[in-house]
């Protein structure tokens, strides 16, 4: 007899800030795996800012979630039943199985991991898409050199934590931007950044103090007032790694950006990327390097764990407002 599945669907497209009514929570029988498929039970679901884009039907790099479909998301879980060679019940697997407890997945979309290498939830954060995002964006665009100053917005978040710590490993001065004293204390104390700017305070004065030699690399996760304060402080040949602008995701119409003449005068590079373009081809190299740093104690991370799939919509709404503290994951059961 099939177990009961629990699913979170997109009920309608949000106008501005999402509300719980934009989601629908549904029980349904767990699916049966077809030949070549594996039945997976999710243990952890990752909640990430990009999901706001998937809820909208505005033109973007990825197709939107259809109305009435299961919300997309990365999950870590275990194999319950297998009709595919190479997978057996009890195996630990990663994949994009969405906001649901059970899914029947073609074997090609599964990634098997050794559960003893790291805590399972870490494969959704520091060892997963957010960690890979940080690593790829620095490798391809940020290219921090020893002695440079790297500023990271949303510094206590899933990607920001990793960006700053890699910058430290590369010999840079790492300066975070986060909201509130608790996050800033964590960023400097636990993560070892050199300084952290509280965006609820006087951004300009704090940035001046934290970046006496200007800013060589700005990792953009937030946009808005932080971007406006950082941009004029970029040094010649500065790089702006465009990863996201979460402070503006709920805006109905786009805000103006900085005047781009500074790009000429200072030879700036502003460049965006999406980790799925070419990041996963480098996952092996990334995972090996990251596991090394984790074992050495040079890479620390904080998770904000929410219990139960039914709590996912509210947790996601909070994520867009910075209510989480650390990488936001849902413990599915």
Binding site for a second copy (CB under 8 A): 53, 60-61, 220, 223, 227, 236, 242-245, 248, 254-274, 277
Q: Which is nearer to a second copy, 145 or 310 (by Cβ)?
A: 145
DSSP string, 191-248: S--SEEEETTS-HHHHHHHH-TT-EEEEEESS-HHHHHHHGGGEEEEEEEEE---GGG
CB of 236 to a second copy, least distance (A): 7
Q: Which is nearer to a second copy, 5 or 276 (by Cβ)?
A: 276
Residue (of 45, 130, 54) closest to 315 by Cα position:
45
Distance CA 62, CA 57 (A): 10
- Residue 328, φ and ψ in degrees, nearest 5: -85, 120
SS3 assignment, position 258:
coil
Q: Which is nearer to a second copy, 31 or 53 (by Cβ)?
A: 53
Q: Bridge partners of 248?
A: none
Q: Which is nearer to a second copy, 250 or 314 (by Cβ)?
A: 250
CB of 243 to a second copy, least distance (A): 7
Distance CA 100, CA 315 (A): 15
CB of 275 to a second copy, least distance (A): 11
Q: Which is nearer to a second copy, 207 or 246 (by Cβ)?
A: 246
Sorted by sequence, the CB contacts under 8 Å of residue 99 that are 6+ apart come out as 7, 8, 45, 70, 71, 72, 73, 309, 312
Distance CA 269, CA 240 (A): 6
Q: Which is nearer to a second copy, 61 or 181 (by Cβ)?
A: 61
CB of 11 to a second copy, least distance (A): 24
Q: Which is nearer to a second copy, 33 or 144 (by Cβ)?
A: 144
CB of 262 to a second copy, least distance (A): 8
Sorted by sequence, the CB contacts under 8 Å of residue 106 that are 6+ apart come out as 36, 37, 38, 84
Distance CA 126, CA 161 (A): 8
CB of 333 to a second copy, least distance (A): 34
Pairing of strands 23-29, 4-10: antiparallel
CB of 219 to a second copy, least distance (A): 12
């Amino acid at each position: 007899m099939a177990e009961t599945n629990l699913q979170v669907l997109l009920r309608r497209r949000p106008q501005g800030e999402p509300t719980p009514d934009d989601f629908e929570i549904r029980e349904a029988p767990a699916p049966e795996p077809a030949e070549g498929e594996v039945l997976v039970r999710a243990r952890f679901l990752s909640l990430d800012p990009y999901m706001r884009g998937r809820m909208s039907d505005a033109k973007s790099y990825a197709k939107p979630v259809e109305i009435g479909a299961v919300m997309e998301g990365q999950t870590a879980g275990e194999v319950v039943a297998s009709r595919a060679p190479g997978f057996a019940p009890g195996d630990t697997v990663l994949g994009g199985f969405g906001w649901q407890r059970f899914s029947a997945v073609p074997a090609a979309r599964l990634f098997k991991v050794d559960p003893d290498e790291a805590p399972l939830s870490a494969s959704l954060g520091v060892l997963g898409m957010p960690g890979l995002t940080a690593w790829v964006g620095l490798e391809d665009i940020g290219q921090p050199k020893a002695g440079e100053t790297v500023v990271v917005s949303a510094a206590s978040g899933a990607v920001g934590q990793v960006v700053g710590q890699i910058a430290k490993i590369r010999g840079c001065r790492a300066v975070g931007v986060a909201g509130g004293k608790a996050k800033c204390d964590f960023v400097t104390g636990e993560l070892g950044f050199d300084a952290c700017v509280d965006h609820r305070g006087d951004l300009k004065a704090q940035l001046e103090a934290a970046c006496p030699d200007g800013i060589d690399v700005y990792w953009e996760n937030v946009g808005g007032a932080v971007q406006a304060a950082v941009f004029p402080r970029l040094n010649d040949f500065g790089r702006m790694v465009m990863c996201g602008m979460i402070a503006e995701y709920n805006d109905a119409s786009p805000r103006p950006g900085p005047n781009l003449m500074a790009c000429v005068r200072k030879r700036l590079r502003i460049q965006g990327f999406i980790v799925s373009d070419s990041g996963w081809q480098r996952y092996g190299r990334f995972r090996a390097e990251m596991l090394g740093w984790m074992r050495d104690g040079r890479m620390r991370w904080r998770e904000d764990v929410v219990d139960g799939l039914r709590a996912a919509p509210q947790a996601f709404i909070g994520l867009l407002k910075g209510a989480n503290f650390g990488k936001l994951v849902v413990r599915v059961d």
